[in-house]
Structure 1
Amino acid sequence: MSEAAEKFETAMPAWKQWQEAPWGRLRYAIAEANLLRNLGERADEPLRVLDLAGGDGGDALRLAARGHHVTIADYAPAMLTAAAGRAAAAGLTDLVACVEADANALPADIVRGEFDVVLCHNLLQYVDDVRHTLAASLAPLRPGGLFSVMAINRHSAPLTAAVREMDLAAATAALDTDQSRTEMFDASLTLHTAEEITRHLSDLGCQDLRHYGIRTVCDYIIDDARKHDPAFYNDLERLELALTARHPYMHTARLFQLTARKHVE
């Protein structure tokens, strides 16, 4: 097992707790809503989905529950074991396949898979060559298929430091760096903007690019305890859904999500 995979395995309990917290639930709910709006009527058809660096299945199980066939590719065995367990508990084993693989070195059968949808969520901040990873992620997608990429938004870093941490010096420093760190996974991060990734996708031949914000206001509400109140959470999710595609709010959201269609020859 690689050192990186071991870090993800060690962080599994904290990761599970994060997913179940209001901010984790929002991340998955808003991403799913944005996928469904792009799939339109096809959202009700059984589609073939590839979830790259899909971890323990947070995105995949939502799509499998809608009847889609989802392949999760991840290089952390503990994450894949957790994903398989979650799929079994939900009665979705027949719709979820787990493959141990690096997104930048996918098995040939996956590369040739002609998937209808490919997800590349929260991977880019961990890689050295973003363009190479995007190209590798697009390879298994059929022409005209839907691609979804998500990453931490670099524009949010100064606001996060100023509002949540009350660290104005760190906020000022964050204006001029793309480097950050995740304590949960004990790893260095490179932050990107939606504008940068949009240019890469356009250069790679993608079409119909759309920009969404995820956790547009959640992370700037410092009263985290109140977010656990069901009524407040419901109002927060409703607001996040209303803001996700509305200019200019997506530009300072904690995460950006871009969807695009693979070029049809």
Structure 2
Amino acid sequence: MIERNAAPVRGAESFDQGVSAWQEWQEAPWGRLRYAVAQAGLAGHLGASGAGPLRVLDLGGGDGGDAVWLAARGHRVTIADYAPAMLATAARRAASAGVADRVICAETDVAALPGELASGDFDLVLCHGLLPYTTDTSGTLGTALGALRPGGLLSVIAMNRHSEALRSAVRTMDPDVVLRALDARTAHTELFDAELRMHTAEELTSALHGLGCGEVHHYGIRVFCDYIPDDVLKSDPAYYARLERLEIAAAGREPYKHTARLLHLIMRKPGPAAGGGS
């Protein structure tokens, strides 16, 4: 079901036009690893909580890659995104998976959530891949925390700035390119023709502490994948299976997580531990 809570937001068109390319990326080895490793990390925290069905808010959740996985596990998920074609794809995806009754698609600007989404009633909030597209990091994290009830879980995925120079070295073998990458704060993506802002786990952890969060758990996503130059080999099923096992095993390990292409932070909002869906 799609609910429209705001007028169309400028910029949504670029995401809608990239739906097909985005789905191709998701099906590529690096895209599959992004979801597999994130799901493994999140499952560890959800399992430890002993929670029953949760109320989940997926900020900038696009075509439902995370939402449908959670809905298939019995949780009730609201996707908040301003790109209508992405949301329509998410609705079809949920229907195909038989979980349409547990997924709501809300067409809204994450920076101006309607009251029913910002009211602090959610058990789990996802902020996966949203920070690279916003200039207001603290404001976005504050919005995510504001939607959580006390004791609720927040999951953040962002591009890791520490990975850029290493990735450039492997991919270009050009010292001049790598030198520029040392101070780069953005990376261009052809997928949506955008400059993506990169962050570090240290910066985001500091911002979350400033917003009142306690312990922040840090994981890396694609610790080794982006430094293996043979992209064709990664598509071999047997090789991919081995690579996925490696990536899941390395996600939380020092020092490897610090140079992963993506950083994954999981923390609880201060307050009583979440017990279950409301």
Say yes or no: TM over 0.5. Answer: yes
State whether structure 2 residue 135 is matched by structure 1 residue 102.
no
2:183 counterpart residue number: 176
Identical-pair percentage = 58
What's the CA shift string for 1:65-110, capped at 9, x where partnerless?
1111111000111110000010011111001000011211101001
- Given the alignment, which residue of 13, 20, 27 partners 1:6? 13
Q: Which amino acid aligns with 1:48?
A: R
Counterpart mapping for 1:24-173 below 5 A: 24-42=31-49, 45-173=52-180
Cα shift at 1:180? 2.0
2:153–2:268 contact (8 Å) kept in structure 1: yes
Give the aligned length.
Answer: 265
Deviation, structure 1 residue 40: 2.0
Q: Quick check: 1:179–1:189 contact (8 Å CA) kept in 2? A: yes
The residue that corresponds to 1:21 in the other structure is 28
* Aligned AA (2:192): F
1:103–1:137 Cα contact (<8 Å) kept: no
- What is the distance in 1 between the residues matched to 2:41 and 2:50? 11
Q: Distance in 1 between matches of 2:150 and 2:237?
A: 42
Residues 230-264 of structure 1: per-residue CA shift (max 9 Å, x gap) = 11111101000110000000000000000011011
Aligned residue identity for 2:81: D
**Superposed displacement of residue 16, structure 1:** 0.7
Q: Which runs of 5+ in 2 are unaligned?
A: 1-7, 273-278
| Secondary structure in structure 2 of the residue aligned to 1:241 | helix
1:207 counterpart SS class: coil
Aligned residue for 2:149, secondary structure, equals strand
- 2:246 is aligned to 239
The 2-side partners of 1:10 and 1:171 are apart by 32
Contact 1:44 1:66 in 2 (8 A): no
CA distance in 1, matches of 2:233, 2:50: 33
The separation in 2 between residues aligned to 1:32 and 1:65, in whole angstroms, is 13
Pair 1:14–1:165, CA change in 2 (3 A): farther
TM-score by length of 1: 0.97
Amino acid at match of 1:75: Y
> CA distance change for structure 1 residues 43 and 227 in 2, over 3 Å: closer, same or farther?
farther
How many Å separate the matches in 2 of 1:66 and 1:257?
21
| In 2: Cα distance, 1:232 partner to 1:156 partner | 23
Query: Aligned-pair distance for 1:166?
Result: 2.6
Give the equivalent residue in structure 1 for 2:216.
Answer: 209
The range that moved more, 40-49 or 111-120, is 40-49
Hey, what does 2:225 align to over in structure 1? 218
Alpha-carbon separation, structure 2, partners of 1:149 and 1:224: 27
Q: Could you tell which deviates more after superposition, 253-262 or 32-41?
A: 32-41
Relative to structure 1, is the Cα distance of residues 29 and 44 closer, same or farther in structure 2, using a 3 angstrom cutoff?
Answer: farther
- On the 8 A contact 2:9/2:109 being kept in 1, the answer is no
Measured on the aligned residues, the alpha-carbon RMSD in Å equals 1.3
> Could you tell me how far apart the structure 2 residues matched to 1:3 and 1:43 are?
41
Cα deviation for residue 162 of structure 1 reads 1.1
